[in-house]
Structure 1
Amino acid sequence: MRNHRLLSLLLLALALPAHAAYRFGSGPLADAKSAAASGLAANRKVTDLKANELAAMLIAITYDESAAKVTGVPSPMALGRFDLQSSLESFGGTQPKYVRAFFHAGVGMWQLDSAGLGADVAAPAAVDTARAAPVVAGEVLRRWRSSKATTKAGKRKAAWGAWYACKDGGCETIFNDIYDASKDALVITEDPSVSSKGGMEWHRCAPATDTKSPFDCALIDPSKAEGTTGGFTFKPWEGKPGVSPLTFPFVSFDRNRTEERHWPKKLTGYDTFVSAKRSFGTNARGGLSWEKPQRICTWLKDCTDVALAIDTTGSMWDDLGAVRAGASSLVSKLIEPPDENGNVSEGTRVAVVDYKDFPSNPYGDPGDYPYLARLPFSNQQASVVGALPTSAGGGNDTPEAAMTALTHTLDADGLTPWREGDMVERAIILMTDAPGHDPDPFTGASTGSVIALAQDVSVQTAAAAALAPEGSVTLASTTLAAAAPSLGTTPSPVHIHSVVIGFDWQALSQLTYLSHATGGEVFPAATASEVVDALAEAIGTVTGPPPDDGGGGDDGGGGTGGNHPPDVSGAVPSVASLWPANHDLTAVDILNVRDPDGDAVSITITGVTQDEPVRGQGSGNTAPDATGVGTSRAQLRAERSGSGSDRVYRVRFVATDSKGAQTAGSVQVCAPHDQGVNTACVDDGQSFDATVP
């Protein structure tokens, strides 16, 4: 009895049709069925086809066209790699360094091609089976109706005439495997991992000159393709005999009956934005126009507005040459030069402003000013370099009018407005050797108000109007209060990056706090010769990290082969000045410690010393003056000897990365004698342990 049952099961298994192994994505299957039903409803004269039968005809095309073959799952993002015409290569094959900006003519599981069915279909519609399936169903039905064949097999052959993969009878074989005519049923195993969009992602883009008018755009990234990607993802990506290059990820959309494909620098690593356009109705093999200048902004934040804010007071006289050199180098990397046809990219714009101090003793000289707009936002390299200041002078006390200058820069006072929207990276690069008044004596602008303004520019108008009563300070013939335009709101903050030149630790501490609070970074430059390097580092911060390979694979190479310890050269305290002198303990963190490898870094306080006795005369006779050794945060007492000058604490620490590498460092914190002008702290020697009771 048992053997008889086993024999019955074996015979049943042998009787199962081989076509039960065919797999097809759940999303495309639903779209094929829907397109078949809708197509037949619109073609009521076609009475010899059933909806499932037509759906099977649509599906049968995809296995060979997408290179999935009968064992795979057709991918909606299949890209044809057997078109080798040079016109599909970037710039007609004349610039091979952009080889992977390749315009695949056949796109999608049905390989809708601009030479045929894809003439009026852009790449996103060819990938999305919800949009592509009705196009295919319409063509199959048109050919079915026109066929003179007297058998269904003959009509199917005619209906598949637009697809090369069906010419050898392969589609007929697959159709018979996946359609059970006796039951009017599809014999297919659904694969839920394949959606209608096949891994394509919808995002938002905008014209670079009008970022307030966004539109939908698609990211087509071969490395994210769902289903069996067949032969189009194998290396070498640059192609080989008989096989075209594989495109880098690209952005695509259609506007005004024109298909556009764009290869942003952040997706390719190229030195320029590459774009191709094709008018609907034209064959890509002879109808493409290529260009380099960037005309759109994408969700990748590949459009950038940068304002260079430069301190031009007298103390900068020996640094200004290096600032100009560094800024010129930065501009040459931010703004692309015109292309071969003289076209200029609209992706990056740079403005130039400078500042000194208030023209009133003891703050500044009579010719000083707290802000001057030198150049509105421009995409012309020569204009930006020509606007960089060439001389320094003025200033009196150590702090300058940095906070007022930043406020007006954020308000785009005297500049063209900042571009709005979350597709634009907006940044100010501040270059100075001194801290800013905090708050500024005439305008009230402070670190806090600048941070609030940079984080939410919807408060711009109110903040700028509150800077000063009308007429109180003249600013290039315009009062501060009158200079504030109403820019409305924008979802994008402005990141403030600071290049701090020299050894003014108060400036480094203040601007580290300000920059970090606005999402920016600080780049210390101990001497003028380091300014160029600091600005070069700032470029990468403003424009973002380089892309990965974008092709779903590993090009080889690798890192340096070893772990690097943390870099403490730019370390600053979170609180630089302890005031008022109320004898309370104040929490002080160590900021701006970086790890070259991007590892997490922990801080451990190892000691605190000071240049006054712990229980010295006139200091309040409190002890200890510091705690926190062995923890990540120091606690420093806000006091100094009333009969002395000031107190300087030195906080020592060790920075440890996640792999155990360590670097020791220290920072200074000042408890000033008072809040008068020119009260820079002087270290009289770290002779006392601040942690003793």
Structure 2
Amino acid sequence: MARRQRGPGRTSAVLLASIGLVVGLGGPALAAGGDGVPSGGGGDNPSADQLRRERAWVRLGDLKFGAEPYEAVQSAAADAAGKADCEISTTAATNLVLSPTWPEVAGSGDSPSPMTLSRYDDQTSLADPEQRDDGLFFNPGVGIWQLDSAGLGANETAATAIDSVGAAGKMAPYIVGKYCSARNGGATAAEARAAAWKDWHACDEGACESIYQRLEADGVVKDSTVDRYGGAEMRTCTYEGAEYDCLYVDPSKAQGEDAWTSPDFGPAPVPDPFYVFTYSESGTDYEVRYWLKSDSGADTDVSASRELGVNARTKLTWAAESGLCDTTTGAGTC
């Protein structure tokens, strides 16, 4: 979300959650949080991609998709097809862009929720090192396309990844571009589709091709109950004397497929409701996820910040806070 005014630099103490460095013949040296509390660290979870593959196959029946997100995908796909350097129709481009979404986040065939937060990565580096509440957790994959800070979501925030209109505008030219590159390199249409979906592990074993063929045959059922943000709400917030556009993300309000909100869906916690906005400090932009104590049950507000472009599993900074006001609802310190 856009920052409307630059605020002053932070003065609160931060806790650093970062990947340890290997020292000599020893194991990873865990970075210290406040008062030297180890905060963990690490890279990808080896079992996470396998879970994605195992859950990729989508139940037979109608494929539903939010009406507003669908219009955004169709519009972005039409634009991408019109600018493509290979032959591809608007319908084919739309289906190409849609195909990874159900295998990634909606195995039931229900509408993929733009609010979806990944539940497979449970590394300690993603959790509050002070352990103030289990729901203070930075889920790294976000949205219909599960844009992850380790890859396609490195320069996105949870807000921009949840926004299905903005995300579609980025994913359509990217996916169509990869398809055309493969076609122009001599690949068959099916091979080019597989190349276009290479970033999504749920597509590794053919689940996305199956969805593509179902879309070609039967199309999609538009679901008017799923909006642009999938149940997340745009708000206006003030923080450190500046005003921000912020998105309020409450998993209990998810629209569409909400299996991911069940505590036993995956090894990672369901996060407590949080605000997300983009914060700038000394010329560097950060994604900030901010939990009010009234939402988390912790004894203080807590923020987690990720420098844009950095994998959340590698480095997060956590801080005890007290300065955010949701001016839309009056929640927080107003």
The interval holding the TM-score normalised by the smaller chain is 0.7 to 0.9
Q: Which residue of 2 aligns with 1:418?
A: none
Q: Distance in 2 between matches of 1:245 and 1:255?
A: 25
From 168, 181, 184, give the equivalent of 2:205: 168
Q: Distance in 2 between matches of 1:72 and 1:33?
A: 18
Residues 19 and 83 of structure 1, relative CA distance in 2, 3 Å threshold:
closer
Deviations 1:36-63 (A, max 9, x none): 012223x3423x2111111111111111
SS in 1 for 2:191: helix
Query: TM-score if structure 2 supplies the norm length?
Result: 0.76
> Offset at 1:149?
4.5
Q: Distance in 2 between matches of 1:61 and 1:229?
A: 17
- Match status 1:89 vs 2:127: yes
Q: Which residue of 2 aligns with 1:54?
A: 93
- Match status 1:136 vs 2:160: no
CA contact (8 A) 1:112 1:118 kept: yes
CA contact (8 A) 1:275 1:291 kept: yes
SS in 1 for 2:125: helix
Q: Which residue of 2 aligns with 1:268?
A: 296
Deviations 1:158-201 (A, max 9, x none): 00000111111000001000114xxxxx6111111111111110
Q: Which residue of 2 aligns with 1:179?
A: 216
Q: Distance in 1 between matches of 2:227 and 2:206?
A: 28
SS in 1 for 2:318: strand
- Match status 1:201 vs 2:240: no
Aligned-residue RMSD, C-alpha: 1.9
Percent of aligned positions with the same letter in both sequences? Answer: 35
SS in 1 for 2:237: strand
Q: Which residue of 2 aligns with 1:119?
A: 154
Residue type of the alignment partner of 2:131: P
SS in 2 for 1:276: strand
> Offset at 1:293?
2.5
Residue type of the alignment partner of 1:164: H
Q: Which residue of 2 aligns with 1:281?
A: 309
CA contact (8 A) 2:97 2:176 kept: no
> Offset at 1:263?
0.4
- Match status 1:73 vs 2:136: no
Q: Distance in 2 between matches of 1:302 and 1:53?
A: 45
Q: Distance in 2 between matches of 1:102 and 1:248?
A: 8
CA contact (8 A) 2:136 2:271 kept: yes
- Match status 1:255 vs 2:275: no
How many residue pairs match? The answer is 269
Q: Which residue of 2 aligns with 1:40?
A: 81
Residue type of the alignment partner of 1:247: P
SS in 1 for 2:118: coil
SS in 2 for 1:96: coil
Q: Distance in 2 between matches of 1:303 and 1:243?
A: 30
- 5+ long unaligned stretches in structure 2: 1-58
CA contact (8 A) 2:150 2:311 kept: yes
More contact order relative to length (CA 8 Å, sep ≥ 6): 2
Output aligned runs, 1:56-455, within 5 Å. Answer: 56-66=95-105, 68-91=106-129, 95-147=130-182, 148-180=185-217, 187-208=219-240, 210=241, 213-230=242-259, 232-235=260-263, 243-256=267-280, 257-299=285-327, 300-302=329-331, 304=333, 424=334
CA contact (8 A) 1:277 1:289 kept: yes
Q: Distance in 2 between matches of 1:247 and 1:146?
A: 38
SS in 1 for 2:299: coil
CA contact (8 A) 2:125 2:314 kept: yes
SS in 2 for 1:118: coil
CA contact (8 A) 2:96 2:176 kept: no
CA contact (8 A) 1:19 1:177 kept: no
Q: Distance in 2 between matches of 1:22 and 1:203?
A: 31
- 5+ long unaligned stretches in structure 1: 1-17, 181-185, 305-423, 425-693
Deviations 1:648-674 (A, max 9, x none): xxxxxxxxxxxxxxxxxxxxxxxxxxx
CA contact (8 A) 1:35 1:137 kept: yes
Residues 174 and 267 of structure 1, relative CA distance in 2, 3 Å threshold:
same
Q: Distance in 1 between matches of 2:269 and 2:201?
A: 21
> Offset at 1:297?
2.3
CA contact (8 A) 1:20 1:178 kept: no
Q: Which residue of 1 aligns with 2:15?
A: none
CA contact (8 A) 2:117 2:139 kept: yes
Q: Which residue of 2 aligns with 1:641?
A: none
SS in 2 for 1:176: helix
Deviations 1:194-243 (A, max 9, x none): 111111101111123x2xx422111011011100112x22135xx8xx61
Q: Which residue of 2 aligns with 1:28?
A: 69
Q: Distance in 2 between matches of 1:303 and 1:122?
A: 22
Q: Distance in 2 between matches of 1:149 and 1:233?
A: 43
Q: Distance in 1 between matches of 2:170 and 2:89?
A: 18
> Offset at 1:303?
5.1
Q: Distance in 1 between matches of 2:142 and 2:109?
A: 21
Residues 228 and 303 of structure 1, relative CA distance in 2, 3 Å threshold:
closer
Query: TM-score if structure 1 supplies the norm length?
Result: 0.37
Deviations 1:315-370 (A, max 9, x none): xxxxxxxxxxxxxxxxxxxxxxxxxxxxxxxxxxxxxxxxxxxxxxxxxxxxxxxx
CA contact (8 A) 1:19 1:178 kept: no
Q: Distance in 2 between matches of 1:173 and 1:69?
A: 12
CA contact (8 A) 2:84 2:176 kept: no
Output aligned runs, 1:399-548, within 5 Å. Answer: 424=334
Residue type of the alignment partner of 1:205: C
Residue type of the alignment partner of 1:114: S
Q: Distance in 2 between matches of 1:107 and 1:177?
A: 25
Instruction: Return the index of the structure with the highest Cα Rg.
Output: 1
Residues 106 and 303 of structure 1, relative CA distance in 2, 3 Å threshold:
closer
> Offset at 1:70?
4.6
Q: Distance in 2 between matches of 1:293 and 1:203?
A: 19
